[in-house]
Structure 1
């Protein structure tokens, strides 16, 4: 949830539109299990984020120096992330 909120906040800052973005939460039944699904239409992830930050346990793009390269000027727009633990595969296990 934190990562979805941060992606929406970043999109709103970068596009100067406070009404952009949506977080959708659902409980889906898949086979015999239930899954909590969180989706957003925030800033998305580049190939670099998918191949580096995603697989790095506990790594948060928002708290790294990589964020300036990924989203130039975002910090200057007042973006403050709420996520603390990164987007890694282990964040949902």
Structure 2
């Protein structure tokens, strides 16, 4: 009997797009309201544990970013640009 691998572990970097990022951030923040993509996510309650969780999730998608990479500019716009650069497109 083989153990199934969760979908996130087999995902490709291409599956991480702006829509995925926004959905993950909203879920991490447990915030139903709109998020200004240029506003610091700290104002929405983002903390270091959630940043580390997102960095780990991105790694499962083949995108290596560190806590420091994400924490240096915690906005959706900055993270989207960082992920695109690390993804190569």
TM-score, normalised by the number of residues in structure 2: 0.27
TM-score, normalised by the number of residues in structure 1: 0.26
Tell which has more relative contact order, 1 or 2 (C-alpha 8 A, sep 6+).
Answer: 2
- The structure carrying a bigger strand percent of its residues is 1
Greater Rg by CA: 1
- The structure carrying a bigger helix percent of its residues is 2
